[in-house]
Amino acid sequence: MVLTLLLVAVAGSAIKWLRDSMKMIKSADEINTLARSVPSTSGVYFVTAFSGLLAPYWDPGATGLLVGLTSYTTPAHVARATLEANAFQTHAVIESMKLDSKSELAHLMVDGGMTNGDLAMEVLADVGGFEVVRPEMRESTALGSALLAASAVGLFGWDITRPETLVDVNTARCTLFAPRTTPEERSRAWRGWQRAVERSRGWIETAEE
């Protein structure tokens, strides 16, 4: 299975929160620089459930959670945990899709603003244990419009009714990020994320309760 996936939507709101509310960074791009200043989160997990948890958890009663804090925790650890949160949630969605499709992931193609950061892509590969492919052109909405227009007038041999004519679209000058973690390291980190998610779930009590 080759999957093209937009990274989890809440990643952007979490970075905005670090910038605008916590004042940890001055611009969104700075999160990669800040996060790279430490080699790991040192056990910090950030469940970025500002508006509940979306796929695959579907828990509107969940809230944001920072856990694993110690007196040695710095803004850099929180920044790195924010990047990891995006990776963990993306991994959770992929695992659900694998169960439904009964297919393995060959590699993950990404796009969007957050993919501009190399560290964010490295973290995604490390957490997921799969190769992340970042094309040079990372605006899928614009590319889709171009594909439709070209197909309509017969340019470049593109034909949306024949997927084989599109197989090489946007594959030139891609950057590949391979996982550097061991299966044991990934499994341990994943268990920690699942524990953090469970602690964030159902925090907001409904009227019925």
This prediction has a pTM of 0.85
pLDDT at 103: 83
pLDDT at 98: 87
- What six digits make up the tokens of 65? 């959670």
Nearest CA-CA partner of 17 in 42, 61, 49: 49
- What six digits make up the tokens of 45? 């997990």
pLDDT at 169: 77
With respect to residue 89, please indicate whether it lies within any of the assigned structural domains.
yes
Measure the CA–CA gap between 91 and 129, rounded to whole angstroms: 9
With respect to residue 144, please indicate whether it lies within any of the assigned structural domains.
no
Count of structural domains, the chain: 1
With respect to residue 116, please indicate whether it lies within any of the assigned structural domains.
no
pLDDT at 2: 45
As a dihedral over the C-alpha atoms of residue 123, residue 129, residue 134, residue 138, rounded to 10 degrees, the angle is -70
Query: For position 30, which CATH number holds?
Result: 3.30.420.40
With respect to residue 76, please indicate whether it lies within any of the assigned structural domains.
yes
With respect to residue 112, please indicate whether it lies within any of the assigned structural domains.
no
With respect to residue 21, please indicate whether it lies within any of the assigned structural domains.
yes
pLDDT 10s per residue in the chain (209 long)?
Answer: 444 444 455 667 899 999 999 999 999 989 999 999 999 999 999 999 998 998 899 999 999 999 999 999 999 999 999 999 999 999 999 999 888 888 888 888 888 778 889 999 999 999 999 999 998 877 777 878 888 888 888 888 888 888 888 787 777 788 999 999 999 999 999 999 999 999 999 998 764 54
Residues of the domain holding 57: 9-103+182-200
As a dihedral over the C-alpha atoms of residue 157, residue 164, residue 130, residue 112, rounded to 10 degrees, the angle is 40
